């Protein structure tokens, strides 16, 4: 296979992934953890708050998808590329579950998702350019950040909202596993100051997408 074809093929896959993520046509491989749990009657205030949090989580998953796709796009070793693609597939479950929950809460995903996808893809590709070790370290740092967010949200979502809580609970488990796996694959843990910078960026994301 020629190099040019390889790049073209990657570009086609990249565009396909972007469109599927933005238009929410990604299919979950596992059923939503909340599927068999009872739906409760929520006050309008709670419904809006939970919808805002689920919108943030959905965009977080759009970013995760794009980061993995960006990193896989430039990964040096085939083995690393495949592992990034596999992790991105697991994120598709999270995307689909959050989308479904937003719909159940009569809410829509963020209109800013195309912007967050493209900027995260660029950040992922940039991290990937620094080599596989740093790129995998970046995965660990990102996943640690996501786990922190999810735990904050679990503190805010009422105990009675079993459906949302089950989704976030499973996501915490999966994200922690992704982070550990990245370190096992040879990722280098990021210095604290880089993690601080990343948390600032994610603060911008969470504050905008809670509303729109």
Residues at the site binding Fe ion, with contacts judged by CB under 5 A: 61, 64, 91, 94, 175, 178
Q: Which is nearer to Fe ion, 39 or 184 (CB)?
A: 184
Least distance to Fe ion from the beta carbon of 210, Å? 18
What's the rounded Cα separation, in Å, for the pair 209 and 52? Answer: 7
The DSSP letter of residue 157 is S
What's the rounded Cα separation, in Å, for the pair 128 and 122? Answer: 10
Q: Which is nearer to Fe ion, 51 or 98 (CB)?
A: 98
Helix or strand (DSSP H, E) at 146: helix 132-156
Buried b or exposed e, range 126-154, using 16+ CB within 10 angstroms? ebbeebbebbbbbbbbbbbbbbebbeebe
Task: Give the CA distances from residue 144 to residues 95, 113, 119, 141, 211, in Å, rounded to whole numbers and listed in that order.
Answer: 18, 21, 20, 5, 24
Least distance to Fe ion from the beta carbon of 1, Å? 30
Q: Which is nearer to Fe ion, 51 or 84 (CB)?
A: 84
Least distance to Fe ion from the beta carbon of 6, Å? 26
Question: What are the two backbone dihedrals, phi and then psi, of residue 75, each rounded to the nearest 5 degrees?
Answer: -55, 140
Least distance to Fe ion from the beta carbon of 87, Å? 6
Least distance to Fe ion from the beta carbon of 178, Å? 4
Least distance to Fe ion from the beta carbon of 37, Å? 20
Q: Which is nearer to Fe ion, 132 or 175 (CB)?
A: 175
Q: Which is nearer to Fe ion, 153 or 178 (CB)?
A: 178
Q: Which residue has the tokens 């759009």?
A: 62
Q: Which is nearer to Fe ion, 50 or 64 (CB)?
A: 64
Contact 4, 123 (CB under 8 A): no
């Amino acid at each position: 296979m020629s190099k040019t074809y390889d790049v073209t093929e990657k570009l086609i896959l990249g565009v396909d992934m972007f469109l599927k993520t933005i238009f929410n046509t990604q299919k979950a491989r596992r059923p939503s953890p909340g599927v068999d749990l009872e739906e409760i009657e929520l006050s309008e205030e709670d419904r809006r708050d939970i919808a805002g949090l689920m919108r943030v989580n959905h965009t977080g998953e759009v970013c995760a998808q794009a980061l993995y796709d960006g990193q896989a796009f430039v990964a040096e070793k085939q083995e690393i590329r495949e592992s990034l693609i596999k992790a991105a597939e697991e994120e598709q479950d999270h995307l689909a579950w959050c989308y479904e929950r937003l719909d159940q809460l009569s809410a829509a995903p963020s209109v800013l998702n195309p912007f967050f996808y493209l900027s995260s893809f660029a950040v992922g590709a940039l991290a990937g350019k620094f080599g596989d070790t740093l790129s995998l370290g970046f995965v660990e740092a990102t996943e640690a950040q996501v786990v922190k967010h999810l735990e904050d949200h679990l503190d805010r979502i009422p105990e009675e909202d079993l459906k949302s809580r089950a989704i976030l609970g499973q996501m915490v488990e999966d994200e922690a596993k992704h982070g550990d796996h990245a370190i096992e694959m040879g990722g280098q843990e990021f210095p604290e100051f880089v993690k601080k910078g990343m948390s600032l960026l994610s603060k911008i994301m969470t504050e905008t997408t809670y509303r729109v």
